[in-house]
Structure 1
Amino acid sequence: MSEVNTLLERDGVRLTVDDTVATVTLCNPAKRNVQSPALWRALIEAGRLLPGQVRVVVLRGEGVSFSAGLDRKAFTPEGIDGEPSFLDLARGPEEDLDATIAEYQKAFTWWRRTDLLTVAAVQGHAIGAGFQLALACDLRVCADDVQFAMRETTLGLVPDLTGTKNLVELVGYSRALEMCATGRFVHAVEAERTGLANLVVPAAELDAAVADLVAALLAPPRSAVNETKALLRSAVSLDPEAQHAAERAAQTRRFRDLAGIGD
């Protein structure tokens, strides 16, 4: 794992594993953990490398900010070193651009896997892609200095890193629209009140609060937690009859497991 960590850290991501808990750290604090295609590839790889025993993944950012969003160099003619300029991508075939964005989105989708619980520990700025990465996790514990903002529309863009659905599910359509259309900052009190943050604590207590939450998440049997997560995820899209059937099927599996009856 240490050799892989070195490769990931080169692109701004550190993966550490302690038995059933993994920590993914954005580790470019000098640039407020700005994001790039290389960082997204490293996040995808971090998800792929998780050992099977991992139950909880904590996502955090080093320094004063969780992530200040996309590196603006991506929109210059020169682009980010080693990466194509987004302007050049825009001039190419639409299907190629669509495929490229789809690949970027993979860095934001694995956090909702039903075999994991994911917790974002968010302090300081979580802007644009940083906001969307925090939204990708199941839960968010925030420091009282947190500042969320979806700034894409102010740049003539849209949030395209899987954040729109997650944001609407958390705060509702009209509030999500207002946040995105204005690009304004959402601070700690509002984040907790609207459901963006599961918990807000003083910045000095963030690590301890996350540790307490992780311990609580690990307490129940893994199979029951995973089944419950899957049910809650499906509740958003299934009609009531289908959801009720899914609950019955899941509970049947739980009863059989408790009774020691295999498949």
Structure 2
Amino acid sequence: MIRLEHDGAVGVVTLSHPPHNLIGDEFIERYCTAQDDAVAAGARAILVRSDLRHFCAGADVKALGPGDDGAASDPAAVLDRLESIPVPTVAAIHGAVLGGGFELALACDMIVAAESAQVGAVEVTLGLVPLLGAIQRLVARAGPARAREITMLGRRYRPAELERLGVVNLVVPDDELEEASMSLARQLAAGPTVALGVIKRVVNIAVNNGTKAADEALSGELATMWASNDVRRGTKAMFTDGPGTAVFEGN
């Protein structure tokens, strides 16, 4: 269902739940656990991909909906768990990326898309709203007007349009998706892991609580960053070999 492998410092989380990677409670738990396990094993970046025809064609609504006792999954708890991952995450999307699949991608820090992918928040066609944070994450990426359009109309979009709107970071030919997404993940994994973790947290705070809260949070994060070995490596390399020459070890 979910497979975790390692490519150097990149944790590769592969969705493999035939036929279409439909999301349910067990799928979500295994997905979150795979990311936790990747970090615990020393991954400095995570690449999320699928080895099926589609990245993820949506959710098994019956599996995510209220059970016999009327209780349903808590999306806030799932999203908090995903966004607490301290290393950069990259989604490599192709095929159908619909509903919950789109939301898995939006919960990652960056999205690389194959140009033929079909992407959309289609829950409204079932009389539902996106259950795993698409509305608010689209507001953060594309603004409220576009978030309303994408979620209210339930259309399928080509990645090039979503790249123009700021929802997708990079669109590549289908046969270049694997190489391009892994290249980006490796670049992030080779970066200063402590500093990248600070950036993740400050961005999330700015989105959720505003610029003032992010300013205050940054002040509290600086001591950890300045104490990191990566800062010492980076500054030493700058003065001896020039900017951009440091080799970071992620601590």
Instruction: Report if TM-score (shorter chain) is over 0.5.
Output: yes
Alpha-carbon distance in 1 for matches of 2:217, 2:140:
20
The within-5 A match list for 1:14-25 is: 14-25=3-14
Alpha-carbon distance in 1 for matches of 2:111, 2:147:
17
Query: Is 1:147 the equivalent of 2:136?
Result: no
Deviation digits for residues 103-160 of structure 1, max 9, x if unmatched? x665544332251111100001111111111111111000001111111111111111
Report what 1:64 is aligned to.
53
Alpha-carbon distance in 1 for matches of 2:159, 2:178:
17
Answer whether contact 2:57 2:97 (CA < 8 A) is retained: yes
Alpha-carbon distance in 2 for matches of 1:241, 1:196:
24
Query: Is 1:171 the equivalent of 2:161?
Result: no
Answer whether contact 2:47 2:182 (CA < 8 A) is retained: no
Answer whether contact 1:33 1:67 (CA < 8 A) is retained: yes
Alpha-carbon distance in 2 for matches of 1:105, 1:240:
22
1:171–1:182 distance in 2 versus 1, CA, 3 Å: same
Answer whether contact 1:19 1:53 (CA < 8 A) is retained: no
Deviation digits for residues 57-88 of structure 1, max 9, x if unmatched? 1111122211111236x2xxxxxxxx6x94x7
Q: CA deviation at 1:167?
A: 1.5
Deviation digits for residues 41-69 of structure 1, max 9, x if unmatched? 22133234232411111111122211111
Query: Is 1:118 the equivalent of 2:106?
Result: no
Q: CA deviation at 1:17?
A: 2.6
Q: SS of the counterpart of 1:184?
A: coil
Structure 1 unaligned spans of 5+: 1-11, 75-82
TM-score, with structure 1 as normaliser? 0.78
Alpha-carbon distance in 2 for matches of 1:206, 1:128:
21
Alpha-carbon distance in 2 for matches of 1:42, 1:151:
24
Q: CA deviation at 1:18?
A: 3.5
Identity score, percent: 31
Structure 2 unaligned spans of 5+: 234-251
Report what 1:156 is aligned to.
127
Aligned pair count?
230
Alpha-carbon distance in 2 for matches of 1:71, 1:255:
46
Alpha-carbon distance in 2 for matches of 1:17, 1:249:
32
- AA aligned to 2:59 is L
Q: What is the root-mean-square deviation of aligned Cα atoms in Å?
A: 2.4
Answer whether contact 2:93 2:114 (CA < 8 A) is retained: yes
